[in-house]
Structure 1
Amino acid sequence: MTGIIPVVVLALVCVSFAFIFNANMQFETLTKDKMNAELRSTKLKITDVMHASEYTTEAIATAIGKNVKDGDDLKEYQDAINKYVHDSEYIVAIGLFMDPEKWHADLTNFYWTETSSSVDFVDVSSMNITEKDWFQTVKSTGTHYYTETYVDSTMGILMTSYVAPIFNQNDEFIGVVNTDIDMSAVQSIVDNVSIGKTGHAKLITKDGLFVSGVDSDKVLQANISKDKEYGLKDVSKKLLDANEFSGTAKGEKKTYNVYTSKFDSYDWILTILIDQSEVREAISEITIMSVVIGVIAIVVIILVIWLIARGITKQLGMVQNRSKAMAEGDFSMDALKVKGKDEIASVTSALNEMLEANRSEMTEISKNSSVVSDNCDTLRNAVNELEESFEQINKAIYGISNAMIDNSATTEELTASVVEVKDVVVDLAGKATESEDMSKEIMDRATQINKDSSKNFEVAMKLTEEYEQKLAESIDNSKVVGDIEIMADAINEIADQINLLSLNASIEAARAGEAGRGFAVVAGEIGNLAAQTSQTVANIQSTIVKVHDAVDQLVGNSSSLIKFLNDNVAPDYKSFVEMSVQYQNDAENIKDISVYVNNIAENLRSSMEDVNTAIQNIADASQTAATDSSVIMDQVDAVTSHVENVGQISSEQQDVAKVLDDVVSRYKLNRDEF
């Protein structure tokens, strides 16, 4: 047992070193987490300060953009902006700078700045705003912009400017709102960071210039790339390039742990430095404490191991002696005393249980050996009876197997009949489906015929009405012929009068002699014209008579045609429409009957499938029963063989029982009957 002590000591030493190493790693991790938490907390405080000014600037830009128009007087916002500047803890000045391309007014660039007693208005319209980088940047990007941190030459304080764009109602850029923010609140937040005894914070620009955490004369003047006091020059490149950085910097007098984090929206890097000796002081205390505890633990463990080994050795000697006695067949000894609940006590208890169990088993074996012999006789008689029963079972199963084979043949014939019926039903269902499809086609044709007949009937009736109307109009128009006849009679009378006048003129011309010769010629021509007119009128009157006859004949024929349409064609069309409706109804009835027959056929087919399935199940069951009967017969033969073997085994068991009696008699059980 003493050989285990060096192993335990070595293990404790290894565990102690592992604990110390893990403690150092955990402490460094906790330190880094604490520093990162402090960085996040400080950044959040600074962000809150900056957001207050950002919200004010954005609110002013939005209000002006939504309400002003080109050329408006922006001084009307003076009271509101004065209040913002005066009430804000961080805002030093707010300026409005309008784009000269979009804003046309005398007053374009101006700001309100806080003095010791009031807020003053300053006009800087003469400033060429387009030359300012911050103005051009906001105009081109359309978003807000932070200037670099700077010291105001007029007020002598550290500031940064937040510039927000102004968009008019048409979403056009028209200018910016420029807010100057006092950095003293940010410097105060950074300067008040204190961690432990030596931990402090510094704010650095992304160019490496100190903003806070240093003397005022070094603000925006000293660069970390030249810093020797804290050793930041050695890590300046990594510090400025990384979003987050942790490492060590060796200063002139001390070595510092450095933790940094960049701002997303601002031109700054927050840095925390803590003396490395302060961090390692706690680690050294943990190491020393771990070593002391480890030494004490080793001494205590060695003492405990020695005491335990001594007790185990004594108890194991007693167990060894008792085991030897049991191996020699002596079960008459008393049980060992069990102390405690350790492994040795468990072994001792198990040995006592084994002693008692073996003693009980040997006693039970001796007692039951005669019972085994009697049971073997009973078992032999039972085996004989089983052999006779199995013979009868074998005959019965053989009869069942033959019956099942006959049943299987019958079910096959029935299955064939069911299949034939099923085929007929399927054919019937197919015919019903075809009838249903044909009825659908008939119905579609009947519907189309009904539609076409109705349409043609309507067209015929419409044409009849149009022809009647046109016939009436033609009859009315034929009355013009009568008017023409009247005018022809009038012209004829006029021609007669002209002819009479011509005759009179000729007579007068003859009376006049040579002087009336020319007039006589004219009178003659007028007479000829009157004669021609009379002849033309006669022709017109003859034509009018013919027109009268034609019109009368046309009216008669048209009336007969219209009467034929009304009396014959229209009723035929109507009967045809009614017939197509009846045709459609008949097709619908045929369809319903086909669907009904199809449903009946489908139900019959489903029922026949169920019957076929049931018959097949019966056939399968019969086949399975026949097969199982054969298997059972084989199993009965096998069981019969096993029963015969059992009879033989029972004889052998009688011999074994005698041997057991001889063996038990050799053990010392401390019992009166032995």
Structure 2
Amino acid sequence: MTRPIRQLTAVIEQTAKLDFRPTKEGGKLRKQKDEIGNMATKIHIMRKKLREMMGDLQQTQQVLESNAEDLNHLMKQNSAYAEDNSAATQELAAGMEETSANAAHIVENVGIMRESSDNIQRLAEDGEKNSGQIQERAGEMERISTESRHKTDQMYAVMKQKTDAAVEQAKSVQKINALTDNIKQISSQTNLLALNANIEAARAGEAGRGFAVVASEIGDLATQTLDTVSTIDEIVGEVNSSVSNMTECLTTIMEFLEQTVLGDYEHFAQVGEQYHADADTFQQIMQQTKEAVDALEQHIGEISSTVSEINSMVEQSTDGISGIAEKSGSTQNLVTEGYDKLQECTQSVNVIRDFVAQFHLD
């Protein structure tokens, strides 16, 4: 009688230490046709379920860690793109301001244009050639923006699928609560058995003294089991909190990708289209300028008006580019915020990994 109890105690102590590896003693105890065998069977079922759940949790942690690494790489790329766009728009704004100043200078010195008609003719021809190059670059920009949007859409779909799967798998940790309730029930039954054993030992008098000692040990073991269950409940609470934080972080990141990054790519594509349209307009203006220079002496007023229109368009373009620069700055801030959220998710994954490391499964 004492030996099976000691073996059962060893199995329970092994469980309390979060060691769920199978034991030979447990298999022997389950074959007994008594309360000890029944209790050993229930403990075996509990340990098996806990082992399976911790295996699922470990796989979930690995998936989340992989997703966090992928998102970290993506956020770094987006940050680099945002920085490049911000620098490019600042350079464009500076160039447009300089062009605006030059146009104003042309308006003030329109009289000199009559004496320099040959030079203006050559500049107009060069401008027409340059406008063709601008059209080609604008088309390339539009194509790259469209491809980037398509790739981002595909990546977003894959990441969303992985994130949804990871969140669903993380919910398996809630099953631990049911198992701890089973442990509490087993401990209560053990206490009841110990109490009955003490009563029977008291009735037996001197002959039951040894049995009373065993019953007392069983009662102490049940108390220790309840203490262990309380510790497990606390750990499960921490895991549930980490899973909740992880889910919130992943949701925030996916919303950021859907609402901001994809929107920015759409905006970049629109900018490319507008850039292409502006290049067409610029080419038309250069053609008109070249034709006007042929009759510069007779149409100096028309040339002055055209230059004024160019100046107005440059000012409008400067304002538009300034707005794009501000938008790029905002995008950079959002990317930084998303990266911070990703770091919080990574910390949550580390908490889960440390928790899983406490369990011995194989």
* TM-score, structure 1 as length reference: 0.24
- Which is higher, the Rg of structure 1 or of structure 2? 1
Query: Which of the pair is proportionally richer in strand?
Result: 1
* TM-score, structure 2 as length reference: 0.40
Q: Of the two structures, which has the highest relative contact order with CA contacts closer than 8 Å and spacing of 6 or more?
A: 2
